[in-house]
Amino acid sequence: MSAHDLPPPGGDIEPLRGVEAVVLVGGKGTRLRPLTLSAPKPMLPTAGVPFLTHLLSRIRAAGITHVVLGTSYKAEVFEEYFGDGARLGLDLEYVVEDQPLDTAGAIRNVAHLLRADDVMVFNGDILSGVDLRAVLETHRDSAADVTLHLVKVPDPRRFGCVPTDADGRVTAFLEKTENPPTDQINAGCYVFRRSVIDRIPAGRPVSVERETFPGLLAAGARLQAHVDSSYWLDLGTPGAFVQGSADLVRGVAPSAALPGDPGDAIVLAGARPHERALLTGGTTVGADCVVGAGARVHSAVLFDGAVIGENAVVERTVVGAGARVEPGAVVRDAVIGDGAVIGAGCELLDGVRVWPGVTLPQGGIRFSTDV
């Protein structure tokens, strides 16, 4: 899918006045290698379009039109694909980091392009169903300096916790602990008063979590929380990436950019799944893919041109562009790099990653380490 094929913006959307967006997309996505060797994480095909398309469409659907992308790794691909943003009903601008600046540093780095009093900031690898207008309303109603979207999770031990008081004001930022005092975590979406951004030190790495937010609290600034239990997922690992794509396809996660109706699978133009192939669990079949008779593909992401042989089993797996899974192979919870070949009868399990261009021999060999 090219930028010219992107779904058009929705109908009449009442614009949000005095607010614009910054999306941070500069990371290298090392936890998703080898997928991110050829594309930045926000540009990986997710439910049929680059992931960033889903986020930008939600920003547009909320009524925000001016968006600045803070880029770094493979920065050129963003503008090549999205251009000026007009196809999505947006005014897109781009700023490239010459050196890694961390989260707050990256926000400060785009300040010269900002025009509004309130700035909504997004981490570019978070899939979320939060009501963006409600977050902004919380920010303005509380006259906050910064408002943070906090999401309640069943097990907050893997995350830093953000406790709040009875009025919803943030009281602290806590590191990971086995006994977290709250189930609220930082969801990677903020609203900054513009004057706060201007006070972030320029030209050096600055972390919002470790420096900016604690410093604001110490100075008596108002950090307000918008807390909910909406859909939320960090797409930083292969398992989460596959889950997020499947949730988008099935309609569990909201998006205005899905290239088809929600269901068990989305099949893009030119793909040729056999009528006796079984596509389930929110699978995406990329353009010009081939899926053979008897193949079972469940909760998987097949990049453009991938080939799945007869009677192969592919579950919770990403199969890279032009890669081949030969007949009878079984691939579960794996990542197959672009152009790789998984020989007939091979079995790949439990997080195995196959690097681009690698060919695994036929013969029923089981692989449980990266190759």
pLDDT at 1: 40
Query: What are the CA-CA distances from residue 274 to residues 40, 203, 298, 368 (Å)?
Result: 32, 55, 15, 29
pLDDT tier, 371 (very low <50, low <70, confident <90, very high otherwise): low
Q: For residue 128, give the CATH number of its domain.
A: 3.90.550.10
pLDDT tier, 12 (very low <50, low <70, confident <90, very high otherwise): low
- The pTM for the full model equals 0.89
How does pLDDT run across 203-261, given as a tens digit for each residue? 899 999 889 999 999 999 999 999 998 899 989 889 999 999 999 999 999 898 998 88
Strand-pair partners of 347: 330, 366
Percent with pLDDT over 90 in the chain: 71
Q: What is the mean pLDDT of residues 35-44?
A: 86
Return the ∠ at Cα 278 (arms to 5 and 262), rounded to 5°.
40
How does pLDDT run across 316-328, given as a tens digit for each residue? 999 999 999 999 9
Residue 315 domain-assigned? yes
Residue 26 domain-assigned? yes
Residues 85 and 229 in one domain: yes
Range of the domain at 302: 264-367
> With 70 as the cut, is the pLDDT of residue 370 above it?
no
pLDDT at 39: 83
Residue 109 domain-assigned? yes
Q: What is the mean pLDDT of residues 79-103?
A: 92
Residues 343 and 279 in one domain: yes
pLDDT at 35: 84
> With 60 as the cut, is the pLDDT of residue 80 above it?
yes
pLDDT at 367: 62
Q: For residue 285, give the CATH number of its domain.
A: 2.160.10.10
How many separate domains does the chain show? 2
> With 80 as the cut, is the pLDDT of residue 4 above it?
no
Average pLDDT along the chain: 90
Measured in whole angstroms, the distance separating CA 83 from the mean position of its chain's CA atoms is: 20
